[in-house]
């Protein structure tokens, strides 16, 4: 179990993702285009909801630039990309928020698929640990928003499509860890019905 | 608990764990939960592992599932990893899998065909059972619905029109929607394609009792089967309650042969419709158990158990005549939870809630099949067009060189040809007269040609009547129809016949006669409204008062005019299709017998109207024949004069709009021409044939994905769509055919800076 706790400590050192800008017209056009497409969806909720529809969740090689978000399958970005752009949307609407980090326990069969997909494009899979994964989120008011799944969640212990939230923290703050932290790490979420 | 004995690929094995996928149980359920419940009912100690692709799959939360396996959603799935993991799951002795999702079954057959623990059909068997299931139907000695796989606009338009019962738009992978028109069908087809990937096709609706057969087989040996007749359905047509019975012996024999030929292993379902005379049409063949499978189990036929044991329990009698569903709320698994509400970006929710197992995402990955027809295969190529398919205008059209475009060229020989064709088609039907619908085409040359060919005019107002008269179609022979036939007001009208559009109009005519209006008509009649098809026109004689009012008014007016009486039916065949037109016409006219009794005379004239589609010329004669055969007896005994006014079928081919390409649109494929919506007002609503002048001759353009846009700055100025314009260049001349009917009579000036044509008289 101690090794799992050390994994969590390792996550604590992760820096929040930020999309880079070449300082050239290539990134300027790409960034403006993406933000303009989001602007078509008037209110902040709709823009945040449209974000993962516009930029499909998938592997990217960091550091990523605005002009590199588009590949042959369209716009692709991971949770770091989504969180960074979500923050820009919230800034434009002048809403108070904080960037955040989460630890999620996915289904035991799932992480291997993600590892394989990330590996196939040469992207780093250091966000995938043996029993949990690193995720970037946003804290708005008193609630948490998952910019990749476009949903509100209640913090630690909540369920997301990707799995159960084990711990969350506001940027630079302390972790809020689920009371069932140890149980979840041991069993995953597929344990039999008792 | 271990269950004896057999395994699908031959070797005997005890089954202790069954992995079941497709666990969602909602309004459109998958079969997995039913399979799990059936196995648990018979063998409570058997370990059931529920497998799915979302924690929102509701069946995963039931107590019939001992363990849950969640894979990622299909758009996050790494297929190699999935294959490896499934293989690993089945490595343990005593573990088998019953996959219950169509596309998953197909993918398993492709990727893991040789895996002995999977109780589902092989890739060859699945291929045999494609959509529509032609080969399966042949073995089962059943019919399949008429279908159309060409999804170009003209083909969809034709199939929709000729299908009397509406049509179904069906996806290659999943989904079916009912459609009533070609534009609706194409929109639905595009939606199916967008949601599910793959191609789509059309099937004719088949009326009858929906039923189905569930079966299971191992290595080509039929183990058990049951027959289900739907009693209650959901709004989506899914079974809610059904009667269970044994499969009729003759069908069972064919089913045994079918599974033998396909060497079938696993569950399966035939979706059927039984006609009134008892014949079956095979609608679908599914490579997995139906979602109602537990309904059969509770009636005494446990097919999932039969599948894993390889034997069926002998039945002398079913335990219950049928089953019904109930709704049950259960707590979600505390350690699985539910995914939260996904915030919508638009007004409509995504389909993820409807299909939690993610089959649309799997379909989109195109792991299972290649597109049926690629865009390249339908690309434009000079000289490859079958000349017989041409509408004829290409050969008559002159080279455009030097002419100012756009311009309309009238092709009178095509009008003449159609009239002669129609005369030939109806020559054996009795004494008939052809009428030209003036509103459909008022071109002076066409009116004059109609007169030369011995036609009479059908006019809907006095302006049309006078215009036709000036071109040789004598007013005294003409038919007056519609609600505005006396407009603009005249002191005196002479016509061959008039058919009142309402009882009020008959009263109005009598009052006009009382007020001194001089009317000369040989026939006084009424237009009868269709029964099933809503229409703003015609008299609805569905009550005795209206009937006697009509009789009294017709008798009174015809007596004053010294005229006979007649009856008229009119509705667009191009909307109804020939079969429905014929049924509507024959049923509407039935009242003629009762009127003849009351009036003491048979009708002198029966007038058949309604714009017929140009492609349905061959159906017109037989349809009229059926009306005369099945309509009122006065058709056969009274020898009335038959007036035929089939509208656009005669004049539509007789004009072409020639235009020139002036710009390429932003999208690349679309082109802008110097014609506009005012020149081709019906362009957006039905498929016009288009030809290109290649420098020496006119050649037809083929279907594609491009649009021909009009010159005006209006979003709806789309003259044609779904055609291939890829090789067309700026300055090329294009001809839009079939513009001789409403595209001529309804044409208007727009976007030329000219003042409006003022209405009203000084």
- Residue B375 clears pLDDT 80, i.e. is over it: no
> In this complex, do A159 and B76 lie within 8 Å of one another by their Cβ atoms?
no
pLDDT at res. B751: 86
A109: nearest CB among B66, B69, B335:
B69
Using CA coordinates, name the residue in chain B closest to A162: B72
pLDDT at res. B386: 41
The DSSP element (H or E) to which B662 belongs, if any, is: strand B655-664
pLDDT per residue as tens digits for the range B396-451? 999 998 899 999 999 999 999 999 999 999 999 989 999 999 999 999 999 999 99
Q: How far is CA B754 from CA A73, B285, B660, in A?
A: 49, 61, 21
* CA-closest candidate to residue B86, choices B55, B107, B103: B107
Using CA coordinates, name the residue in chain B closest to A54: B345
Model confidence at A83, in pLDDT bands (50, 70, 90)? very high
Q: Does B353 touch chain A (CB under 8 A)?
A: no
Model confidence at B530, in pLDDT bands (50, 70, 90)? very high
- Residue B734 clears pLDDT 50, i.e. is over it: yes
Sheet holding B95-98, edge to edge: B67-70, B47-52, B17-21, B95-98
How many C-beta atoms surround the C-beta of residue B45 within 10 A?
9
Bridge partners of residue B671, in order along the sequence: B664, B708
Q: Which two tokens stand for residue A147?
A: 């910019």
pLDDT at res. B753: 87
Residue for token digits 């017929």?
Answer: B612
- For residue A187, list chain B residues with Cβ-Cβ distance below 8 A: 335
CA count, 13 A, side-chain hemisphere, A174: 3
For residue B267, the SS3 value is strand
The gap from C-alpha B660 to its chain's centroid, in whole angstroms, comes to 34
The distance in angstroms from the start CA to the end CA of chain A is: 23
How many C-beta atoms surround the C-beta of residue B319 within 10 A?
11
pLDDT per residue as tens digits for the range B650-689? 999 999 999 999 999 876 789 999 999 999 999 999 999 9
Using CA coordinates, name the residue in chain B closest to A108: B70
pLDDT at res. B350: 56
B337: nearest CB among A113, A159, A191:
A159
> In this complex, do A114 and B69 lie within 8 Å of one another by their Cβ atoms?
no
With the C-alpha atoms ordered B543, B545, B550, B555, is the resulting torsion angle positive or negative?
A: positive
- For residue A107, list chain B residues with Cβ-Cβ distance below 8 A: 69-72
> In this complex, do B342 and A153 lie within 8 Å of one another by their Cβ atoms?
no
> In this complex, do B85 and A110 lie within 8 Å of one another by their Cβ atoms?
no
Contact in structure between B121 and B131 (CB atoms under 8 Å): no
> In this complex, do B70 and A151 lie within 8 Å of one another by their Cβ atoms?
no
Q: Does A123 touch chain B (CB under 8 A)?
A: no
- For residue B81, list chain A residues with Cβ-Cβ distance below 8 A: 112-113, 116
pLDDT per residue as tens digits for the range A126-144? 999 988 999 999 999 999 9
The DSSP element (H or E) to which B139 belongs, if any, is: helix B134-140
The DSSP element (H or E) to which B493 belongs, if any, is: strand B492-500
Q: Does A87 touch chain B (CB under 8 A)?
A: no
With the C-alpha atoms ordered B123, B124, B125, B127, is the resulting torsion angle positive or negative?
A: positive
Model confidence at B392, in pLDDT bands (50, 70, 90)? confident
- For residue A48, list chain B residues with Cβ-Cβ distance below 8 A: 343
CB contact burial B363-382 (16+ within 10 A = b; e otherwise): bbeebbbeeeeeeeebebee
The gap from C-alpha A47 to its chain's centroid, in whole angstroms, comes to 17
pLDDT at res. B127: 87
């Amino acid at each position: 179990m101690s090794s799992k706790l050390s994994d969590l400590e390792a996550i604590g050192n992760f820096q929040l993702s930020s999309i880079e800008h070449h300082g050239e017209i290539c990134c300027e056009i790409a960034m403006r285009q993406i933000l303009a497409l989001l602007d078509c969806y008037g209110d902040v909720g709709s823009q945040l909801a449209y974000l993962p529809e516009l930029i499909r969740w998938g592997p990217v090689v960091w550091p990523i630039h605005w002009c590199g978000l588009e590949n042959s399958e369209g716009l692709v970005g991971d949770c770091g990309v989504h969180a960074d752009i979500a923050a820009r949307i919230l800034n434009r609407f002048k809403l108070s928020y904080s960037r955040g980090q989460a630890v999620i326990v996915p289904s035991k069969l799932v992480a291997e698929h993600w590892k394989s997909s990330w590996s196939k494009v040469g992207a780093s899979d250091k966000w995938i640990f043996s029993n949990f994964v690193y995720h970037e989120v946003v804290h708005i008011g008193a609630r948490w928003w998952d910019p990749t799944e476009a949903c509100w969640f209640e913090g630690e212990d909540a369920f997301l499509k990707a799995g159960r939230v084990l711990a969350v923290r506001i940027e630079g703050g302390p972790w809020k860890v689920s009371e069932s932290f140890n149980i979840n790490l041991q069993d995953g979420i597929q344990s039999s019905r008792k | 608990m271990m269950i004896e004995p057999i395994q699908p690929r031959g070797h005997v094995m005890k089954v202790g764990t069954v992995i079941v996928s497709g666990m969602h149980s909602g309004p459109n359920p998958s079969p997995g939960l039913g399979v799990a419940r059936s196995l648990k009912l018979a063998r409570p100690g058997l370990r059931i592992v529920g497998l799915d692709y979302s924690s929102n799959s509701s069946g995963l939360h039931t107590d019939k599932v001992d363990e849950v396996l969640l894979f990622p959603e299909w758009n996050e799935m790494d297929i190699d990893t999935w294959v490896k993991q499934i293989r690993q799951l089945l490595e343990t002795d005593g573990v088998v899998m019953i996959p219950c999702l169509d596309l998953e079954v197909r993918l398993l057959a492709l990727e893991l065909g040789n895996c002995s623990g999977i109780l589902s059909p092989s890739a060859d068997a699945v291929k045999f059972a494609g959509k529509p299931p032609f080969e399966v139907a042949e073995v089962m000695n059943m019919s399949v619905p008429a279908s159309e796989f060409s999804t170009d606009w003209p083909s969809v338009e034709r199939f929709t029109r000729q299908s009397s019962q509406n049509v179904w738009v069906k996806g290659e992978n999943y989904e079916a929607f009912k459609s009533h028109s070609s534009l609706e069908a194409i929109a639905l087809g595009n939606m199916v394609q967008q949601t599910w990937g793959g191609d789509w096709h059309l099937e004719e609706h088949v009326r009858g009792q929906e039923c189905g057969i569930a079966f299971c087989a191992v290595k080509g040996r039929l183990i058990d089967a049951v027959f289900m007749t739907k009693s209650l359905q959901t709004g989506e047509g899914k079974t809610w309650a059904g009667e269970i019975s044994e499969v009729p012996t003759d069908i069972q024999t064919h089913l045994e042969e079918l599974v033998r030929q396909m060497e079938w292993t696993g569950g399966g379902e035939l979706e059927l419709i039984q006609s009134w005379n008892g014949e079956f049409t095979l609608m679908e063949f599914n490579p997995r158990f139906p979602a109602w499978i537990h309904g059969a189990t509770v009636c005494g036929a446990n097919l999932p158990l039969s599948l894993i044991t390889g034997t069926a329990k002998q039945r002398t009698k079913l335990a219950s005549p049928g089953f019904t569903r109930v709704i049950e709320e259960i707590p979600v698994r505390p350690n699985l939870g539910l995914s939260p509400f996904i915030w919508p970006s638009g007004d409509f929710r995504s389909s993820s809630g409807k299909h939690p197992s993610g089959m649309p995402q799997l379909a989109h990955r195109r792991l299972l099949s290649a597109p049926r027809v690629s865009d390249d295969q339908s690309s434009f190529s000079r000289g490859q067009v079958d000349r017989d398919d041409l509408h004829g205008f290409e050969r008559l059209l002159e080279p455009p060189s030097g002419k100012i475009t756009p311009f309309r060229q009238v092709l009178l020989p095509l009008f003449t040809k159609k009239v002669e064709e129609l005369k030939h088609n109806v020559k054996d039907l009795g004494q008939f007269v052809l009428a030209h619908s003036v509103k459909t085409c008022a071109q002076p040359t066409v009116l004059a040609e109609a007169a030369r060919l011995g036609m009479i005019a059908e006019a809907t107002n006095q302006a049309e009547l006078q215009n036709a008269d000036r071109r040789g179609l004598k007013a005294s022979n003409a038919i007056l129809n519609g609600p505005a036939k006396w407009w603009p007001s005249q002191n005196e009208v002479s016509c061959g016949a008039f058919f009142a559009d309402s009882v009020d109009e008959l009263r109005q005519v009598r009052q006009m006669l009382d007020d001194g209006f001089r009317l000369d008509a040989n026939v006084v009649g009424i237009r009868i409204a269709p029964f099933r098809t809503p229409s703003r026109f015609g008299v609805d004689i569905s009550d005795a008062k209206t009937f006697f009012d009509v009789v009294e008014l017709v008798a009174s007016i015809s007596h004053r005019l010294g005229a006979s009486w007649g009856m008229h039916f009119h509705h667009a065949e191009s909307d109804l299709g020939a079969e429905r037109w014929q049924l509507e016409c024959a049923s509407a006219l039935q009242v003629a017998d009762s009127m003849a009794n009351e009036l003491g005379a048979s009708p002198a004239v029966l007038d058949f109207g309604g714009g017929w589609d140009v492609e349905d010329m061959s159906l017109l004669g037989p349809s009229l024949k059926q009306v005369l055969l099945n309509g009122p007896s006065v058709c056969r005994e009274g020898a009335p004069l038959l007036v035929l006014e089939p509208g656009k079928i005669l004049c539509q081919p007789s004009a072409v709009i020639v235009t020139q390409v002036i710009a390429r649109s932003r999208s690349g494929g679309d082109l802008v021409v110097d014609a506009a919506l005012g020149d081709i007002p019906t362009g957006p609503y039905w498929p016009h044939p288009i030809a290109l002048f290649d420098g020496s001759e006119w050649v037809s353009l083929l279907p594609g994905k491009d649009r021909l846009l009009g010159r005006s700055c209006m979003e709806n100025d789309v003259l044609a769509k779904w055609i291939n314009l890829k090789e067309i260049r700026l300055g090329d001349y294009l001809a839009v055919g079939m513009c001789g009917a409403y595209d001529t009579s309804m044409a208007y000036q727009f976007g030329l800076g000219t003042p409006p044509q003022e209405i009203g008289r000084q």
